[in-house]
Chain A
Amino acid sequence: MALEKHRNILDYTLQSLLKRKLKNIGIIMVFTLVIFTASSVIFLSYSLRQEARLLLKDSPEIIVQKMRAGRHELISTLIMTEIGQIPGVSGVEPRYWGYYYDSGVKANYTILGIGASGTEKNRVLSGRMPSRHEKNIAAIGRGIAEARVIKKDLGSVLYLQAADGKWMNFNITGVFESDSEIMTADLIVISEDDFKTLVGMPDDAATDLAVHVSNEAETPTIAKKIKERFPDSRPILRDEIIRTYDAVFGWRSGLIIALFMGALIAFIILAWDKATGLSAEEKQEIGILKAIGWETSDVLEMKFWEGLVISLASFMCGIILAYIHIFFTGASLLAPALKGWSVIYPEFRLTPFIDFYQIAILMSLTIVPYIASTIIPSWKASITDPDTVMRG
């Protein structure tokens, strides 16, 4: 019997919502836009952070760079042996990487030289990577192929100008697939030897050193020891990089939220408008319902369902659209603001990571106030004598 009562009231609520189709569709559209925007930002920034964390999971615990006058400089590989002798260090290897500005397309590329360990192997590569000493071979990201208008087919040739002014040509033996574009869109992988020739790097130098430690808890101590032994070095901990990523994406999320403050304000005005009064028609309807035998609690239940149906429908629409936008269309609307500053924007598909805690907060900050703004004015009308409400 009690269940039938709620079903009947819900049934009437749905009919009541359909009566004011246009108004309710308008509310749902504004509400959906707000949820879509906020949840898109949440999905994207959280996924990027998670991607970054996953990416960094396999990265070395410490990266050692050489600093001169506060500026990053090439580091000597001769100190590798000494670092390797520090207790707790399980391995040290040189890394070769740098940026290449292509004035033709006004884009920065990331160039990586394949070292001895070959850890840069990527399982989302179509074709193959160059080996450590292989000359004039490259694996490239799709973004580079598009920027340079070269065929993505294996066997095409990429030309880069070396430090000595001569042009170097690279046969493309591998292209990174789109699933990895967050990491590889602007990436060119060549051999260690070619890298050194391209950037004019001495044989005993590297861009930085990757230091692996046996016990992660000892990382800060080892970093401290490296700094003591090599005062001109800068050991960077993996955790520091993760924190930097978090801060960067957190800041950018805030920026997007600020840009969409207009939509949020529209929503607040809408909620405020609802909370401050009922239309004459709505008041009269409450008066009629009370006069024919509905209790205050019945009217409030109806208004609760009304608020819940509209806010939940909008919330679900907003969340689903945001999910499609972020994880199926590569965040096409937000990407330029959130993904970076490169000319070559990666067109990647993010792995769907959802922060349910943030979604729950968003839910409580939108659905709950909306339901409250629907119920409060109705409560005022429904505790008044039906005769007074119907007289207006």
Chain B
Amino acid sequence: MIKTENVTKYFNRGKPDEVLAVNDATIEIKKGDFAVFKGPSGSGKTTLLSLIGCMSRPTSGRVIVGDRDVSRLPERFMTEVRRNIFGFIFQQFHLIKGITVCDNVMLPLYPVGIKPSKLRESAALILNNLGMSKRIDFPVQRLSGGEQQRTAIARALINNPDVILADEPTAHLDTQISEEFLTIMRNLQQQGKTIVIATHDPLVYEKDYVNLIIEMRDGRVREIMKN
């Protein structure tokens, strides 16, 4: 499903503040996996997540999604892959403030050209499944942390992606809400979706349903553990 071959990523290459974020990473994630990138801050797990999610390009090496090498795709096709295959849940949720929960959820599909009434219908269904039906028309900035995360999950699911990518999803949540989040992810995995989470939270990578742990340190893949 997703492969990286000797992927390296530099930031600010050739400048005094050059950073080698990912160094020669080769991994493979199969369809239906519940994979975790594990490692301390600065180990390169977020960068690797964004590389496989087509949010940035590797300096060298290849990223393969399905059968396609996406690392050198033109920008337009990268966007297409991002929109059709991946759903993102960011560490800070990255919801657009000033608009409602429903509008945030519908946002990924605005450029697709679906009627607003249908978009709203789909968004309402997902929000309802996540227990957010009473918050549909709430401005997102008035939501609690857990509610904001569920909104972010709904936004990641609106385009019915095959792969959910989540970056430190439990970093700002208490244990109970973190558990709720993981239950949602587990259910999605059982529905056939591939889950990839970057985290240093043991609550996540110690779950028995996590079947692939990729441990990273200093930008390198240190260990790959399969259950």
A interface, CB within 8 angstroms of B = 1-5, 7-9, 11-12, 15-16, 18-20, 284-285, 288-296, 298, 383, 385-388, 390
**Chain A nearest Cβ from B21, distance in angstroms:** 10
Bitwise interface map of B from 97 to 113 toward A, beta carbon under 8 Å scored 1, else 0: 11100010001111111
14 further interface pairs, Cβ-Cβ under 8 Å (given A4-B115, A5-B112, A387-B56):
A4-B113, A8-B110, A12-B107, A16-B98, A19-B99, A290-B79, A291-B82, A291-B90, A293-B83, A295-B111, A385-B56, A386-B55, A390-B90, A390-B94
CB pair B56 A386 closer than 8 Å = yes
- A-B pair count, CB < 8 Å, reads 92
| Least CB separation from A384: chain B residue | B56
**Nearest Cβ on chain A to B36's Cβ, whole angstroms:** 20
For the complex formed, measure the closest distance between the CB of A17 and the CB atoms of chain B, giving whole angstroms. Answer: 10
Chain B residues numbered 87-141 whose CB sits less than 8 Å from any CB in chain A: 88, 90, 94, 96-99, 103, 107-116, 119
Complex contacts, B116 vs chain A, CB 8 Å: 4, 7-8, 11
In the complex the two chains form, is A385's CB within 8 Å of B113's CB?
no
Q: Measuring CB to CB, which residues of chain B are less than 8 angstroms from any residue of chain A?
A: 11, 47, 50, 53, 55-57, 75-76, 79, 82-83, 88, 90, 94, 96-99, 103, 107-116, 119, 155, 159
Q: Are B110 and A5 in contact (CB under 8 A)?
A: yes
By a CB distance below 8 angstroms, the chain A residues around B76 are: 295-296
Identify which of A7, A18, A295 gathers the most chain B CB atoms within 10 Å of its CB: A295
A294 CA to B55 CA in the complex, in Å?
A: 12
Nearest-neighbour CB distance to chain B for A265, whole angstroms, equals 31
**One of A1, A2, A295 near B79 (C-beta < 8 A):** A295
Please, which residues of chain A bring their CB within 8 A of the CB of B79? 290, 293-296
Task: Assess whether B82 is in contact with A388, with CB atoms less than 8 Å apart.
Answer: no
Q: For residue B107, which residues in chain A have a CB less than 8 angstroms away from its CB?
A: 12, 289, 292
The residue in B79, B111, B114, B119 that gathers the most chain A C-beta atoms within 10 A of its C-beta is B111
Contact (Cβ within 8 A) B111 A298: yes
Chain A residues with CB under 8 A of B90: 288, 291, 390
A124 to B127, CA, bound (A): 72
In the complex, the answer to whether B99 meets A15 with C-beta atoms within 8 Å is yes
> Residue of A at shortest CB range from B49?
A387
- Chain A nearest CB from B62 CB (Å) reads 17
18 contacts between A and B (CB under 8 A): A4-B114, A5-B110, A5-B111, A5-B112, A8-B110, A9-B111, A15-B98, A19-B97, A288-B96, A291-B53, A292-B107, A293-B82, A293-B159, A294-B110, A296-B76, A296-B79, A388-B56, A390-B90
CB distance from A258 to the nearest CB of B (A): 41
Chain B residues, Cβ within 8 Å of A11: 110, 116
Output the nearest chain B residue to A21 by Cβ-Cβ distance: B98
Bound-state CA distance A289–B90 (Å) is: 13
CA distance A18 to B110 in the complex (A): 18
| CB contact under 8 A between A293 and B108, given known A1-B113, A19-B98, A284-B94 | yes
Tell whether, in the assembled complex, residue A12 and residue B110 are in contact, meaning their CB atoms are under 8 Å apart. Answer: yes
Residue of B with least CB distance to A6: B113
Closest residue to A15 on the B side, CB-wise?
Answer: B99
Q: Do A2 and B113 have beta carbons less than 8 Å apart?
A: yes
Cβ-defined contact, A385 with B111, below 8 A? no
Q: How far is the CB of A299 from chain B (nearest CB, A)?
A: 9
CA distance A257 to B53 in the complex (A): 54
Chain A residues, CB < 8 A from B115: 4
| Residue ID in chain B nearest A11 by CB atoms | B116
Q: Which residue of B lies closest to A285 (CB)?
A: B96
Closest-by-CB residue of B relative to A288 is: B94
- Measured CB to CB, the nearest residue on chain A to B75 is A296
Complex CA–CA separation, A173 to B57 (angstroms): 90
Whole-angstrom CA separation of A130 from B53 in the bound complex? 92
Q: Which of A15, A285, A385 contacts B55 (CB 8 A)?
A: A385
CB distance from B214 to the nearest CB of A (A): 19
Cα A292 to Cα B94 with chains together (Å): 10
Complex CA gap A1/B111 in Å reads 10
Give the CA-CA distance A111 to B89 in the complex, in Å. 84
Give Cα distance in the complex from A3 to B115, angstroms: 10
Bound together, the chains give a CA A292 to CA B84 distance in angstroms of: 10
In whole Å, how far is A23's beta carbon from the nearest beta carbon of chain B?
A: 12
Among the interface residues A5, A11, A293, which one has the most CB atoms of the partner chain B within 10 A? A293
Query: Across the interface, which residues of A come within 8 angstroms of B56, CB to CB?
Result: 385-388
For B95, the closest partner residue in chain A by CB is: A288
In the bound assembly, the distance between CA atoms of A12 and B96 in angstroms comes to 11
Q: How far is the CB of B9 from chain A (nearest CB, A)?
A: 10
Within 8 Å CB of A291, what residues of B?
53, 55, 82, 88, 90, 94
Q: How far is the CB of A28 from chain B (nearest CB, A)?
A: 18
Q: In the complex, what's the smallest C-beta–C-beta distance from B58 to chain A, in angstroms?
A: 11
* In the bound complex, CA of A291 to CA of B114 (Å): 19
Bound form: Cα–Cα A86–B111 in Å: 79
Q: Which residue of A lies closest to B94 (CB)?
A: A288
Could you tell me the distance between the alpha carbons of A296 and B113 in the complex, rounded to whole angstroms?
A: 16
Residues of A within 8 Å of B47, CB to CB, are 387
Q: Which residue of A lies closest to B118 (CB)?
A: A4
A16 to B109, CA, bound (A): 16
CA distance A2 to B110 in the complex (A): 11
The smallest beta-carbon distance between A384 and chain B, in angstroms, is 9
Contacts of A4 in B (CB 8 A): 113-116
**With the chains together, A348 CA to B112 CA distance in Å?**
56
Task: Report the 5 A-B pairs with minimum CB-CB distance, sorted nearest first.
Answer: A293-B83, A19-B98, A5-B113, A8-B110, A387-B56
A296-B75, A386-B56 in contact; A8/B111 too (CB < 8 A)? Answer: yes
B120 to chain A, nearest CB (A): 11
Q: Which of B56, B76, B90 counts the most chain A CB atoms within 10 A?
A: B56
